[in-house]
Amino acid sequence: MENYEHLLEQAYKNVKVVEQSSERFEVPKVIGSVEGKNTIISNIGEIAGYLRRPVEHLAKFLQKELAASGKIEKDRLMLNTKLNSAKVNEKIQSYSKEFVICNECGKPDTEIVAEKGLKFKHCLACGAKSPIKSKI
């Protein structure tokens, strides 16, 4: 038994300790600038990639929620209004809550599926399916 306990102690020393984090999913913050009357979000592609959603879908949501027209140019979103980054970050958080994070288990491992004209969030982690209320 002494040999087993010695090996067990060595194993515990070599095991990597997992950090106890309350949330593993943190959306990258917006990197942007204001040029004249336009707000330019330069890392929209990175944010959309992290959320695993198309850039066009995220951009369309932001344009609707921020009441601003805009266009995507070279992996940047140009909005035709002056905005501060806190407002844009708040809208991206609401996007992730509505379109990315599972309502049941709270994990971001979801995909959007369409059935009979309705869109659902299908969680790949727990298998839950919940309707998406917002229309874009």
Question: CA 116 to CA 96: how far, in whole Å?
Answer: 24
Is 29-100 in CATH node 3.30.30.170? yes
pLDDT in tens, 42-86: 999 999 999 999 999 999 999 999 999 999 998 899 999 999 889
pLDDT in tens, 96-113: 999 999 888 888 889 999
Which residue, chain included where needed, has tokens 């309502």? Answer: 103
Distance linking the first and last C-alpha atoms of the chain: 64
The structure's pTM equals 0.77
Partner residues linked to 72 by β-bridges: 77
20's tokens: 């106890």
Residue among 36, 99, 45 nearest 72 (CA):
45
Q: Name residues whose C-beta falls within 8 Å of residue 30's C-beta, 6 or more positions apart in sequence.
A: 41, 43, 47, 85, 88, 89, 92
Length of the chain: 136
122's tokens: 């299908």
